[in-house]
Structure 1
Amino acid sequence: MTRNVKSTDVLVQSALQRQVHQDPLGAARDYRRVLEMDPENKAAWYGLGLIDQQFGRTADARADFDKALDIDPHFMSALYSEAYLLRRSDPDRAIELLERAAATEPKAASIPMQLGQLLAERGRRDQAEDAFRRAVAIDRKLLSRVPEEFRDAVRR
């Protein structure tokens, strides 16, 4: 392992600790230092996205998540976070990201559950039903969280 990789790993860990301890500005500084050394560090782009989102800088957060996804199109955390960010402003893009996330992580029940909710809101009932069915197949306890109008169909 090269010195640069070790340094970036230490800085990413430092940034994560700062986030946990409610120091987002210090975490952002660490992430930016990582990106100076390694502009292809998906964890640093993702971390900056979370911080930008926390401060209401939606466009910056989206750009950060997109950079992480350019580096790794299957980066689950970035797919899910960007989808959540876009739920209201660009629901079709959010659906696309959640579908990619579901394909990347087929055993994560929360993803098809979120996808089902978003599809239902968009009036795409058949697709929503399929998504809810997948979520419940992964975790039966989610049946109680499925909207009432879909429960009978999902139970079958």
Structure 2
Amino acid sequence: MTAAVATGVTVWALPSPSTVRSESKAASMPRNGKQADTLLRSALDHMAKQDSLAAARDYRRVLELDPKNKFAWYGLGLVGQQNGNTADAVAAYEKSLETDPSFMSALYSEANLLKSSNPDRAIELLKRAADADPKATSVYLQLGYFLAEQNRKAEAEDAFRHAVAVDHRLLSQVPEQFQESVDR
């Protein structure tokens, strides 16, 4: 189960704490783990209510308990992005990726954040996301769009072709200039 965070920024998805640890593990979870899960749920509630200050406070408290919690770092990235603090958002996403280099949500969100300011880095992040999940068609579509904007047409065509190969219904979402070659 995932909870998409409605923050006014492009996000992939932030898993609910219940998906992070199964119920069976929760019974034997150390006190700090239970506290961290409770704080993550609280932060998600605050994000849903557009209270980024309270969410950031909860995420920081999680990191005091568990400095390598990728979900808390990712949440701080969302808060930074929502508040227009690009440098803080990128730093938080990078900390999340230090913990889990293939964390799809952080890869996708950071790529979208850097699309205009650092397109090469954005493309690199989306390629990592695509490598992490070859069936993630939305990543391949986004990668294709980014590559097309950078006039890297052959690479864009490959990304679009991959997305359509996984799900042919996506052909209508491929830019017209690529549709014929992708549909072959």
**Normalised by the shorter chain, which TM-score bucket?**
over 0.9
Q: Verify: 1:44 aligned to 2:72, yes or no.
A: yes
Match of 1:142 in 2: 170
Give matches, 1:1-156, under 5 Å: 1-156=29-184
Q: Which runs of 5 or more residues in structure 2 are unaligned?
A: 1-28
Show CA shifts across 1:106-129 (max 9, x none): 111100000001111111111100
Secondary structure of the residue that 2:50 maps to in structure 1? coil
Note the C-alpha offset of 1:141: 2.1
TM-score normalised to structure 2 length: 0.83
Q: CA RMSD in A?
A: 0.8
| Inter-partner Cα distance in structure 2 for 1:152 and 1:61 | 38
Residue 79 of structure 1 and its aligned partner are, at CA, apart by: 0.4
Aligned-residue offset at 1:138: 1.8
Structure 1: runs of 5+ lacking an equivalent: none
How far apart are 1:44 and its partner, in Å?
Answer: 0.4
Q: Which amino acid aligns with 2:52?
A: P
Q: What letter corresponds to residue 105 of structure 1 in structure 2? A: D
Range with bigger deviation, 18-27 or 56-65: 18-27
Between the aligned residues of both structures, percent identity stands at 63
- Using the size of structure 1 for normalisation, the TM-score is 0.97
Q: Which has the higher contact order (CA 8 A, sep 6+)?
A: 2
